[in-house]
Amino acid sequence: MKLNWKIITFFLIAILLTIANPVFSLSKIPIFNNHNSPIYSFTIAQVGRDDSTFPWYNCSTREAWSPAKKEWCRKVKKLQNMTYIFPDRLEEGDIERSSITLTNGAYYRQRTAQANAFRVELFYNRKEQDRSYPSPENNIIFADLNRDGIDEAIVLVGFWGGGSGYWTHISVVTQMNSTPINIDSINLGDRTVTKSWKVIDGKIQVNLITHAPDDGLCCPTVPVTWTYQLQGNKLIKIS
Ligand SMILES: [Ca+2]
């Protein structure tokens, strides 16, 4: 039987393209988050307890929620509607800025004759080249920092001071199973960029871009890794 090499070649190419196509197609598919915005390569990593991947859920969907998702979203709602403390603001003498009760994840004080406006946003991470939206995605970790067997919530909280300054804080919340309490918040600095963070062996490790002495506040250039440990009710920078 004489083989028709043209037909065989055609089918071989067709089979090859069929196999290869999903590979090529997947590489072209943009990844989208719950706000339908592309996740950029500098989006901070979602890393949970002891470096294992921690699940994240979109709490705005309407399907029947799994027990794990219900529990996760219940905790997120608590985090969005509670009081946060900012000890560094108290040192500046503005008592009102040092203790903020959020509603649905935000607080805004309008400017008055006596005082500047300011805004506090939960889950806000100032990303590189992207004044992004507040989102729990990537900006929340549940991990046991004090080894009592119960996970604390560790969240990023953004603080806008009424001008061009923007300070990202790491806040630790305990008692997530009852009435949560923000026991401490530390300030990562004005307009620093949080690149990634994780919890390893109960310590919070943050990779961020901070300022060289000559950098303008707008434009930090120095990559650093800072590590924090919960000692009693205080977050202490240990390296
Ligand atoms: Ca704990």
For the stretch 145-195, pLDDT in tens is 999 999 999 999 988 888 888 899 999 999 999 999 999 999 999 989 888
* Cβ neighbours of 160 (radius 10 Å): 17
Expressed in angstroms and rounded, the spacing between residue 233 Cα and the centre of ligand 1 is 11
Question: Is residue 12 one of the residues assigned to a domain?
Answer: no
Question: Is residue 20 one of the residues assigned to a domain?
Answer: no
Buried b (16+ CB within 10 A) or exposed e, 188-219: bbbbbbbbbbbbeeeebbbbbbbbeeeeeeee
Expressed in angstroms and rounded, the spacing between residue 229 Cα and the centre of ligand 1 is 12
What is the rounded CA–CA span in Å between residue 44 and residue 33?
13
User: CB-based contacts of 88: which residues, under 8 Å, 6+ apart?
Assistant: 187
Domain carrying residue 218 = 49-237
Q: What is the mean pLDDT of the chain?
A: 79
Question: Is residue 177 one of the residues assigned to a domain?
Answer: yes
What is the rounded CA–CA span in Å between residue 23 and residue 141?
32
pTM for this predicted structure: 0.74
Number of domains within the chain: 1
Expressed in angstroms and rounded, the spacing between residue 7 Cα and the centre of ligand 1 is 67
Question: Is residue 180 one of the residues assigned to a domain?
Answer: yes
With CA atoms as reference, report the closest residue to 191 among 151, 162, 214, 159: 159
What is the rounded CA–CA span in Å between residue 125 and residue 123?
6
Inter-residue contact 213 to 116 (CB < 8 Å): no
pLDDT at 107 over 80: yes
Expressed in angstroms and rounded, the spacing between residue 110 Cα and the centre of ligand 1 is 36
Expressed in angstroms and rounded, the spacing between residue 187 Cα and the centre of ligand 1 is 21
What is the rounded CA–CA span in Å between residue 55 and residue 53?
7
Question: Is residue 2 one of the residues assigned to a domain?
Answer: no
Expressed in angstroms and rounded, the spacing between residue 176 Cα and the centre of ligand 1 is 9
Question: Is residue 25 one of the residues assigned to a domain?
Answer: no
Expressed in angstroms and rounded, the spacing between residue 139 Cα and the centre of ligand 1 is 19
Residue 71 binned pLDDT confidence (cut-offs 50, 70, 90) = very high
Expressed in angstroms and rounded, the spacing between residue 22 Cα and the centre of ligand 1 is 44
Question: Is residue 4 one of the residues assigned to a domain?
Answer: no
Tell me phi and psi for residue 24, to 5 degrees: -65, -40
Average pLDDT of the segment spanning 101-123: 90
Expressed in angstroms and rounded, the spacing between residue 202 Cα and the centre of ligand 1 is 9
Expressed in angstroms and rounded, the spacing between residue 161 Cα and the centre of ligand 1 is 32
Paired tokens of 16 = 């090859």
Question: Is residue 149 one of the residues assigned to a domain?
Answer: yes
Amino acid letter at 133?
A: Y
Which has the higher per-residue pLDDT, 38 or 120? Answer: 120
Expressed in angstroms and rounded, the spacing between residue 175 Cα and the centre of ligand 1 is 8
Tell me phi and psi for residue 117, to 5 degrees: -70, 155
Tell me phi and psi for residue 23, to 5 degrees: -65, -50
Say what the pLDDT of residue 16 is. Answer: 60
Say what the pLDDT of residue 96 is. Answer: 84
Expressed in angstroms and rounded, the spacing between residue 230 Cα and the centre of ligand 1 is 10
Say what the pLDDT of residue 128 is. Answer: 41
Expressed in angstroms and rounded, the spacing between residue 21 Cα and the centre of ligand 1 is 47
